[in-house]
Amino acid sequence: MSTPVDATTTPAWTELTAAAATLQPNLREWFATDSGRVERFTHTLADLHVDLSKNLVNDEILGQLVALAEQTGVGERFAQMLEGVHINTTEDRAVLHTALRRPAGVSPALVVDGQDVDTDVHAVIDAMSAFAERVRSGEWTGITGKKVTHVVNIGIGGSDLGPVMVFEALKPYATAGIEARFVSNIDPTDMAQKTADLDPETTLFIVASKTFTTLETLTNARLARDWLWAGLIAAGAIDGTDAAKTDAVAHHFVAVSTALDKVAAFGIDTDNAFGFWDWVGGRYSVDSAIGLSLVISLGPDVFRDLLAGFHAVDVHVATTPLAENVPVLMGLLNVWYSNFLGAQSHAVLPYAQQLHRFPAYLQQLTMESNGKSVRWDGSPVTTDTGEVFWGEPGTNGQHAFYQLIHQGTRLIPADFIAFVNPAYPLEDGGRDVHGLFLANFLAQTKALAFGKTAEEVEAEGTTGALVAARTFPGNRPTTSIFAPALTPSVLGQLIALYEHITFTQGAIWGINSFDQWGVELGKQLALQIAPAIEGDAEALAAQDASTRGLLEYYAAHRS
Ligand code: F6P
């Protein structure tokens, strides 16, 4: 295992520390005195137009950040990932989500740990596509011969957030009259509400779980199976015999997992299971078989376009010098804000209602990846890691939390994402509504960067204490990501962009961005507490005073 470079001991870190101490950001002046700034700080990444010019950096600082990436070996670590080195040290695994979107027939073929990765990946994509076509065409039916109208993905974390985010984003591409739904929470409300109006005869469940051990997913899968059996029996579609029930599961359940033995143990025919591999992390798995609900609801061609978008960004990252490498630059800016300028969170503000689940998706991607206190060799980190990612689509966010971003005391770097052409071109009295929407995107980034001075406020006739209240300090950093339209390929590009931003930050901090031990303790304790909920006195007595008090409240108020 290699020892990570301690970023804080590099010459670049020293220079950046000094630069941060003397920095007096002035975007108004920087723009006024430097006519080439926007051109120098704007990049093209496949279909994405990425404007970094409204960030709180000058050329010198950006150069020092790039030097930091060089001195911490970001490029080398990326190459290791692509080659299949076991950079996920705590689980002794390769990290190969980039292999999921390599086109067929790339030479040389990728062989890792004796596995012909390309062949295996494409065999699964082909199998998913063939299965999806059967469902979409009506060749695959429910047990009573009816065409599937709803596909319900049961999964959580990476086995849910990616598929639901992509489905919401690409809904305009759904053509086969098959709606996808997503059940994730073990709160029974989720299953109850998502199945309330469904017909068991036309519903297909996908149990999506990398490990096929996740409590929430297996519990929900059993609830779904009971719901199916009860509905089919009530409709007179099957009798209650074990054979009929098994047949019903065969028609209405498929699975996606790396653990096909566990799929079989659940009662799902492994002929109806789609595999992936331990080198795909859960939060990096939307482009694996975990995307089956998307292949069915959106179609194989849309899924392949999505993969092509991912791949375009992978190629950019692998072949572009660090100083021009967009995900690397954006990762470096995040390091600049969080390690040198004191930012603790990062807003992602899509000006696209279709991306309303994108911030939630990014929360798992970034925070499960980089929320770590030890480095990949087990030693403590030497600086802060991981920002809190959050956001909502504009313009909803404008009427909620933008106040704090504009005039609050905290530094909150924000990424704005927008598309030139809308999925639904509607007009309001002859006026293009999408144009108005985009005007808001442009206005917000402008207001955040350049603010409004007291003099400008006074010039409008405002006086007294109101002047201060109506002043905007500006110099609030933003990145603008603009693309022609939210196509499947563009969405793949966006996801891959953030994957590699996350990678860059993890590499600089020297952490393993691919494990998630922090979710284990809560899972373990939930299993210990469950008997106490059910009234086990010994389990209750074993709890700490606060947990015991809460359990007693539960017992006293349970109806
Ligand atoms: O939250 C922990 C986690 O392991 C995630 O990394 C993963 O995406 C999720 O649980 C679901 O896991 P699985 O796909 O194995 O059910």
Atom of ligand 1 nearest to the CA of 257: 14
Q: How far apart are CA 499 and CA 314, in angstroms?
A: 10
Cis peptide before 395 (omega within 30 of 0): yes
Q: How far apart are CA 525 and CA 523, in angstroms?
A: 6
Atom of ligand 1 nearest to the CA of 368: 6
Q: How far apart are CA 475 and CA 259, in angstroms?
A: 50
pLDDT value at 2 more than 90: no
What mean pLDDT value characterizes the chain? Answer: 97
| pLDDT tens readout for residues 27-39 | 999 999 999 999 9
Q: How far apart are CA 449 and CA 53, in angstroms?
A: 10
**Quick one: which H or E segment has residue 549?**
helix 545-557
- Quote the ligand 1 centre to 533 CA distance (angstroms): 24
CB atoms within 10 A of CB 427: 10
In this prediction, residue 1 carries a pLDDT of 74
Active site residue 368: yes
CB atoms within 10 A of CB 521: 9
Taken in order 436, 437, 442, 443, the sign of the CA dihedral is positive
- Residue 301 has φ and ψ, to the nearest 5°, of -65, -40
DSSP codes of every residue in 337-364:
IIIIS---EEEEEEE-GGGTTHHHHHII
pLDDT value at 57 more than 80: yes
The burial class, CB within 10 Å (0-12 / 13-18 / 19+), for 34 is middle
| pLDDT tens readout for residues 101-124 | 999 999 899 999 999 999 999 999
Nearest to 366 by CA among 500, 167, 216, 523: 500
Atom of ligand 1 nearest to the CA of 281: 6
pLDDT value at 176 more than 90: no
pLDDT value at 516 more than 80: yes
- Quote the ligand 1 centre to 282 CA distance (angstroms): 6
In this prediction, residue 523 carries a pLDDT of 93
DSSP codes of every residue in 421-460:
S-SS--EETTEEHHHHHHHHHHHHHHHHHH-B-HHHHHHT
Active site residue 399: yes
Q: How far apart are CA 167 and CA 161, in angstroms?
A: 10
In this prediction, residue 321 carries a pLDDT of 97
Active site residue 406: no
Helices and strands (H, E) in the chain, number of each type: 24, 15
pLDDT value at 89 more than 80: yes
Q: How far apart are CA 299 and CA 95, in angstroms?
A: 27
- Around ligand 1, the residues with Cβ closer than 6 Å are 156-159, 209-211, 214, 217, 282-283, 368, 516, 519
The letter for the amino acid at 405 is: I
**pLDDT tier, 41 (very low <50, low <70, confident <90, very high otherwise):** very high
| pLDDT tens readout for residues 248-279 | 999 999 999 999 999 999 999 999 999 999 99
The burial class, CB within 10 Å (0-12 / 13-18 / 19+), for 162 is buried
In the set 399, 427, 446, 552, the catalytic residue is 399
Atom of ligand 1 nearest to the CA of 155: 16
pTM: 0.97
SS3 216: helix
In this prediction, residue 80 carries a pLDDT of 97
| pLDDT tens readout for residues 134-145 | 999 999 999 999
> DSSP assignment, residue 148?
P
| pLDDT tens readout for residues 183-210 | 999 999 999 999 999 999 999 999 999 9
Ligand 1 pocket test: which of 184, 210, 258 has the largest number of ligand atoms within 8 Å of its C-beta? Answer: 210
Q: How far apart are CA 393 and CA 260, in angstroms?
A: 38
- Quote the ligand 1 centre to 210 CA distance (angstroms): 7
In this prediction, residue 242 carries a pLDDT of 96
In this prediction, residue 175 carries a pLDDT of 83
Q: What is the mean pLDDT of residues 10-15?
A: 98
SS3 112: strand
In this prediction, residue 341 carries a pLDDT of 98
| pLDDT tens readout for residues 42-56 | 999 999 999 999 999
Q: How far apart are CA 67 and CA 294, in angstroms?
A: 41
Residue nearest to atom 2 of ligand 1 (CA): 519
| pLDDT tens readout for residues 364-423 | 999 999 999 999 999 999 999 999 999 999 999 999 999 999 999 999 999 999 999 999
